[in-house]
Amino acid sequence: MFRLEDRVAVVTGASSGLGVAFARAIAEAGGIVALAARRSDRLADVAAELRAEGYRVGTYQTDIVDPAQCQGLVDGVMEEFGHIDVLVNNAGLGTAHPALRETPEQFRQVIDVNLNGSYWLAQACGRVMAPGSSIINVSSVLALTTAGLPQAAYSASKAGLLGLTRDLAQQWGARRGIRVNAVAPGFFATEMTEQYQPGYLDAMSPRVLLARKGDPRELAATVVWLASDAAGFVTGQTIVIDGGFTIS
């Protein structure tokens, strides 16, 4: 029930970090992976690595902020592979601007990528997904708590994803048979965490009950589960993977 044999999974933000971990885990579980991101050169590198290991992969340069590009991604995947069974809405942008100095452009940019872009792509995929398909929105523990950084736009966008997840699960459950869930990761080693100020992660470590950063493979395993038949009766939920950060 945990296998994804011959299922086609669209993974956004797949040129680095958690997106690569998700793509690899889905491929290892038997899935076909459609890699989407803005950076075509990085996409090509990831695809070459996965293909060298025998996995089926497609690449699609896409800026999810543009609804037309989201539709183009879906059209391209349907033409190449014939169906879309899984969407991992992983593309995201993080900033740390103090609220009194954050400009409208800075705030809107984060909302556009993290929330609006996820919606446009879910909408485009939802039109072609068959019953039994799965959408996984990648939120954050910052949708549920704070962590000492000025991240109003990021936190708002990730909290918005949780509301979007619940509503789409309600709309598309009985009517279309599509499951929609979210994951809320804590601190994992990614390009985003590399941008944190020196000492920040060390300062947060006492709040992580397991006393370590997460391994991206641990988060990817949850995504594979949500994509598979093993989670066939799970929808509208937020799965927190944070080593206990949100309860400390």
Residue 20 lies in a domain: yes
Residues spanned by the domain of 55: 8-247
Q: What is the mean pLDDT of the chain?
A: 94
Question: How many domains, the chain?
Answer: 1
Q: Is the pTM of this model over 0.85?
A: yes
Catalytic option among 55, 60, 119, 154: 154
Average pLDDT over residues 7-23: 96
Residue 120 lies in a domain: yes
Q: In 3D, which of 106, 63, 193 has the Cα closest to residue 141?
A: 193
Q: What is the CATH number of the domain that holds 175?
A: 3.40.50.720
Residue 3 lies in a domain: no
Q: For 219, how many CA atoms within 13 A lie in the half-sphere containing its CB?
A: 33
Residue 193 lies in a domain: yes
Residue 1 lies in a domain: no
pLDDT digits (tens, 9 = 90+) for 148-161: 788 999 999 999 99
What is the dihedral sign for C-alpha 75, 60, 55, 119?
negative
Residue 170 lies in a domain: yes
3-state secondary structure of 59: strand
3-state secondary structure of 101: coil
| Cα angle 136, 141, 146; round to 5 | 150
Is 60 tagged catalytic? no
**Residue bearing the bigger pLDDT, 58 or 195:** 58
